[in-house]
Amino acid sequence: MKNPWASPQRKNRPSLLLSLGLSLVLAVPSANAGFITRTLTRVAAAAAITSVAHAYAKNKRSSDREADAPRGQTTGDRASCTDQLPMGKAPTFSNPKLGENTHQVCYQEYTVLVSGKTLTPLWSAEYMTKQRVLAARRMKRVNSFHEEDSVPIAARARLADFVGAKNIDRGHLAPSGDMTSPGAQYESFSLGNMIAQNSSNNRHVWEGIESGTRNFAVSNGKVYVITGPLFIGQNIRFMNNRVAIPTQIFKLLYNPVNQTGGVYVVDNVDTETIGWKSIAQFEQFSGYRFNLGAPALMAMPQPQQHFERSKYAKN
C-alpha cells in the first residue's frame, strides 16, 4: 500500500544544471573553453554536493515521517509476525480445509491470518507486556474502520458488508485498547482484524475478558495472546451472504514465565457465561493446533465485569 504521507518525488535540479553546463562548454569558442571549464567544474562540484544534501534531507524527512505517521496495513516477512507468536509458532489446523485461501498480515503490534472462505480473520496473535499495556492506557481511541487492502479483493470483507446488520458489531480480535501508538491503533481497525460479533457480547462479557487479559500482562509482566472465532456445526450463518458469523469466540493465553496456558471460550450471543479449557482440551474440539506441547492449565485471569457499555466498545 502506498504511504499517503510520502511526498511526491521532485526533479533532480542540480543534475539538470550540470547537464546544461556541460552543453555550454561544447558551445563556446576554444579560447574561452579553459576558463569556462574550470568555472563549470566548480559549479558541477557544488551541484553534486547540493544533490547529495537534498537526497539526504529528503530521505531523512521521509524516514521521520514514516516513523511517526500511521502506516495502515503492511504485509510481508516482518519480525512482528513471529515476535507476536508463542515460541514463534503460528497456529495450524487439524482440518486442512480451514487453512485454504488464507493470507497472513503482519502489523506493528499484532499479526492475523485472514480467511478467504469466511472473510474474517481465523486468529490474531499479540505479545503483551506490562510496558505495552501501560503505554496503551495513555492512548485515546479513534475509530478508523477500513478495508484490508493487502488481502485480495475476493478474500476480504468490505465495509458495506456490515451495513444494516442487526445486533452485530465489527468486533476486534486484537483489541484497539492493546495498541500503543496512533499507527498501531489505526492498524487494529482493519477489517482483517474484525469478526461479526454479537453487539452485547462485544461490549460487555468480551470486553471484560480483554480487560482481564491486560491486567494479567501487567501483574505477570508478559503473556502471549491468540484470539479467534470458531465456526462449529453445519448451519453457519452469513452476514449479507458474505461474512461468516462465528458460533463461538476464543482467547488463548500462554504464560512464558512458567509455560502454562488456558483458553477462554464464549458463545457469540448475548451472554455472561464464560468457559475455559486447557490448551490440549481446546485443540481436541476446535480444529486448531497451537504447537505448544501440552502446557498445564494456568490460573485464568478474572475477567472484569461490565454492566454498562464502555467507551472503548464504540462501533
Write the Ramachandran bin of 183: left for phi over 0, alpha for psi from -120 to 50, otherwise beta: alpha
Q: Do 106 and 75 contact (CB within 8 A), yes or no?
A: yes
Q: Assign 115 to helix, strand or coil.
A: strand
Catalytic residue among 54, 103, 146, 172: 172
Q: Do 61 and 260 contact (CB within 8 A), yes or no?
A: no
All residues at 6 or more sequence positions from 48 whose CB lies less than 8 Å from its CB, including other chains: 14, 18
The rounded distance, in Å, linking the Cα atoms of 186 and 6 is: 17
The rounded distance, in Å, linking the Cα atoms of 289 and 178 is: 25
Q: Is 241 annotated as a binding residue?
A: no
Q: Is 103 a catalytic residue?
A: no
The rounded distance, in Å, linking the Cα atoms of 280 and 94 is: 13
The rounded distance, in Å, linking the Cα atoms of 126 and 299 is: 20
Bridge partners (DSSP) listed for residue 227:
124, 251
The beta strand positions in 268-309, using DSSP E, are: 275-277, 288-289, 296-297
* Polymer length of the chain: 315
202 by Cβ neighbours in 10 Å (0-12 / 13-18 / 19+) ranks as: buried
> Mind giving me the DSSP string for 209-247?
HHHHHHHHHHHHSEEEEEEEEE--SS---EETTTEEPPS
Binding-site members for Mg(2+) are 202
Catalytic residues: 172
